[in-house]
Amino acid sequence: MPPTTSRALFDLTGRTALVTGSTRGIGYALALGLGQAGAEVVVNSRQPAAVDAAVAQLRDADIAARGAAFDVADEASVVRAFEALDRDGVSVDILVNNAGIQHRKPMLELELADWQRVIDTNLTAAFLVGREAARRMVARGRGGKIINIGSLTSEAARATVAPYTVAKAGIKLLSKSMAAEWAKHDIQANSIGPGYIVTDMNEALVKNPEFDAWVKASNPAQRWGRPDELVGTAVYLASAASNYVNGQIIYVDGGWLSVL
């Protein structure tokens, strides 16, 4: 039976959420937000010390948190991490594929290795981590939620970020592919497309007066977004409130993609 009050619809108590790349930026904000909605949280990045620090910070905020340091782009590392969670009796009900990197270079100067690294981290990793999570969700028979983090570049290109653009466009259709195959197991897979959000990834752009002015002039909200402004959409897509929503992408961008 679905929950009967609107508050209960968004309650994540009793659920466990793995958020990849959650030691800082958007991932940390989503881990905190899902935790505040009641979920137990598994924090991830490649750096064990940063994972431990984020876990401690979340526990200070009264959130049940644990760490799982692994490289989302390395298949063996992903498989080992899920086996370790299995051994500890941790079942992932909610997966947020958030870990990502950027590499700015015009295509005429772009090395194949950098193209590959960006595609591996931003797209292939979401398949790898999604596959391991979904295999277990299917076996348990309790359904699950997968949220893949896209971008404005899931929809439109921008010079100097071709592999990122192609990966984020792939994320949009990866969610639809997951929905196509896993909806029958009561798994919902959707994407969030954030606009320009102030995080470490964008530090140089925020400090660049020309880029900052372009963001403010192009976006009808006339400002950058904050990581915490993605939490409401993530909680919605992680909760029973979205049980019949599948394969969608929701842009949280201040209206940017809706205007000319």
Task: Write out the residues near ligand NDP by the rule CB under 6 A.
Answer: 20-21, 23-27, 44-47, 50, 71-73, 98-101, 121, 149, 151, 194, 196-197, 199-202
Toward ligand NDP, which CB reaches closer, 21 or 144? 21
Q: Is 161 exposed, middle or buried (0-12, 13-18, 19+ CB in 10 A)?
A: buried
Catalytic residue among 28, 164, 236, 251: 164
CA-wise closest residue to 92 among 196, 180, 19: 19
CA-wise closest residue to 54 among 96, 21, 87: 21
Task: Say whether 164 is catalytic.
Answer: yes
- Contact present, 70 and 46 (Cβ < 8 Å): yes
The three-class DSSP label of residue 214 is helix
Question: What is the distance between the alpha carbons of residues 191 and 169, in angstroms, rounded to a whole number?
Answer: 11
Toward ligand NDP, which CB reaches closer, 42 or 99? 99
Tokens of 174: 């990866």
Supply the minimum distance, in Å, between the C-beta of residue 34 and ligand NDP.
15
Toward ligand NDP, which CB reaches closer, 138 or 257? 257
Instruction: Write down the H helix ranges in the chain.
Output: 6-9, 25-36, 48-60, 75-87, 112-119, 125-140, 162-182, 203-207, 209-218, 231-238
Supply the minimum distance, in Å, between the C-beta of residue 192 and ligand NDP.
8
Supply the minimum distance, in Å, between the C-beta of residue 152 and ligand NDP.
7
Q: 155-160 contacts: CB < 8 A, separation 24 or more?
A: 155/193, 155/251, 155/257, 156/257, 159/106, 160/104, 160/105, 160/106
- Contact present, 217 and 173 (Cβ < 8 Å): no
Supply the minimum distance, in Å, between the C-beta of residue 43 and ligand NDP.
9
Toward ligand NDP, which CB reaches closer, 175 or 199? 199
Toward ligand NDP, which CB reaches closer, 36 or 202? 202
* Active-site residue list: 164
